[in-house]
Amino acid sequence: MIFFDIDGTLIDHASASAAASLTFFDRFAGMIPFSREQFPTAWEEILNKHFNRFCRGEVSLWEQRRARMREVFAAPEISDPEADARYYIFIGDYEALTRPFDDAEPCLQSLAGERLGIISNGAREQQIGKLQRAGLLHYFSVMVYSEDVGRGKPSPSIFLEACRRAGDASECCVHIGDDLEADVVPSRALGMRGIHLSRANNSTVGPPVISSLRHLPAVIH
């Protein structure tokens, strides 16, 4: 089976997150201890810091979301309900802005007849929503998310669970992703064919490496 990562691979997370973070900043003007110019970068750093804790199994999905809100506002006293309410404000704007990369659907169409799957660290409901809005959900028959196994990439458990659900040995599976440490290194360590999607064309690993999903069918076949 051919597995895909979602954010940064099929869906342009970075652009949506940066734009939504500015809308969020403006909504809470004067309450966030960063400049507007600094905030998109600070937001992403805080997001990654706490989301990685979730992927390591240290906190729950909602605990990391609340921790993000408290750090963003430098306000550890924010209650759980208030942190949740602020998270929902951001996620509403973010979800409205997510778009597929231009090369995503042409790639999936060209793989007609292949068995395709998803391995994603994102929350199941949110990630399925992204794929659905992008018109890509119907391409995938197996989908495994970090909450399904309690750990996210680069943990071997999420890759092995995906292979198990596919009914294939890891050596028979392919995984395509944009993150070297979360996607490529761990999938290759398990014997999967880990393909690095380096859109900036600056990969530091050996082949297979592609700069666009349009090149994937040729690499696989």
* Strands (DSSP E) found in the chain: 2-4, 116-120, 142-145, 174-177, 193-197, 209-210
User: How far apart are the C-alpha atoms of 89 and 49, rounded to whole Å?
Assistant: 20
Please report the pLDDT score of residue 128 as a whole number. 96
Q: Determine the Cα–Cα distance for residues 215 and 130; give it in Å rounded to an integer.
A: 23
What fold is seen in the domain 2-12+100-220? Answer: Rossmann fold (3.40.50)
> CA torsion, points 98, 103, 105, 110, in degrees to nearest 10?
-160
pLDDT reported for residue 125:
92
| Whole-model pTM over 0.85 | yes
Domain extents for the chain?
Answer: 2-12+100-220, 13-97
pLDDT digits (tens, 9 = 90+) for 3-20: 999 999 999 999 999 999
Which pLDDT score, from 0 to 100, does residue 120 have? Answer: 97
Here the tokens at position 34 are 């960063």
Beta bridge partners of 201: none
Residues of the chain with pLDDT under 50: none
Q: What is the pLDDT of residue 75?
A: 96
Question: What's residue 169's pLDDT?
Answer: 97
